[in-house]
Amino acid sequence: MGLEEKLPAGFVLTTLENVAGYMRKASIWPATFGLACCAIEMMAVGTPDYDIARFGMERFAATPRQADLMIVAGRVSQKMAPVVRQVYDQMANPKWVISMGVCASSGGMFNNYAIVQGVDHIVPVDIYLPGCPPRPEMLLNAIIELHDQIQHSKLGVNRVAAARAAEQAALAAVPTHLMAPTHEHHAPLSGPLSATPGKSLLA
């Protein structure tokens, strides 16, 4: 919130968006923060082989107040969840989150009561990175994607219009249970798209 929210749409706002996007994407500092095995791959991006310093991101901030990127690297236990949220709350705005690996994104193989089934239950996620563990190159690719998102983020009235368009698109989307199956095994067991009578879907 600030002056940017009050600017009317037009040339000035578009120019400001471009400048702010460039400056923000070129000055990201990640929080020093790792939860499990994925964190080893995250640490590898700091080595000369992968060299995260080329993005100016080699300074993993030791305090969340000097960080604006949270890389959730590893499964989030129920006990750790409030700590993750507290770190996020203490980070400077605007801030972004990369969910690194299947465990952080969905609980992964840990389908049990001890692990949060997706860190997006705790904090908003900007990029989901698949893999177990994702390679350091994949994390670098996620960072490049995030840079692209930041560069094209909208401000002020443009942001409101973008949020409205996204909401309309979500409302118009076909619910997953009505989507045409891409494979026989994925067909719903009941409803209008159910399989031919007499044919077992699980065969």
Site for ligand SF4 contains 25 (CB under 6 A): no
Residue pair 34/74 in contact by the 8 Å Cβ criterion: yes
Closest residue by Cα to residue 95 from 24, 20, 38: 24
Question: Interface residues for ligand SF4 in 104-163 (CB under 6 A)?
Answer: 108, 132-133
Distance CA 30, CA 47 (A): 15
- Identify which range of 12-20, 36-44, 80-88, 145-153 contacts ligand SF4 by CB under 6 A: 36-44
Q: 156: which 2 tokens?
A: 């002020």
Of 13, 57, 103, 129, the residue at the interface with ligand SF4 (CB under 6 A) is 103
**Please, what is the minimum distance in Å from the beta carbon of residue 134 to ligand SF4?**
8
Q: Which residues pair with 98 in a beta bridge?
A: 71, 127
Number of residues that bind ligand SF4 (CB under 6 A): 11
DSSP single-letter state for residue 145? H
Closest residue by Cα to residue 29 from 2, 73, 63, 75: 63
Q: Measured from the CB atom, is 103 or 139 closer to ligand SF4? A: 103
- Identify which range of 24-32, 102-110, 115-123, 174-182 contacts ligand SF4 by CB under 6 A: 102-110
Site for ligand SF4 contains 97 (CB under 6 A): no
Site for ligand SF4 contains 34 (CB under 6 A): no
Closest residue by Cα to residue 161 from 12, 3, 14: 14
- Residues in contact with ligand SF4 by CB under 6 A are 36-38, 74-75, 101-103, 108, 132-133
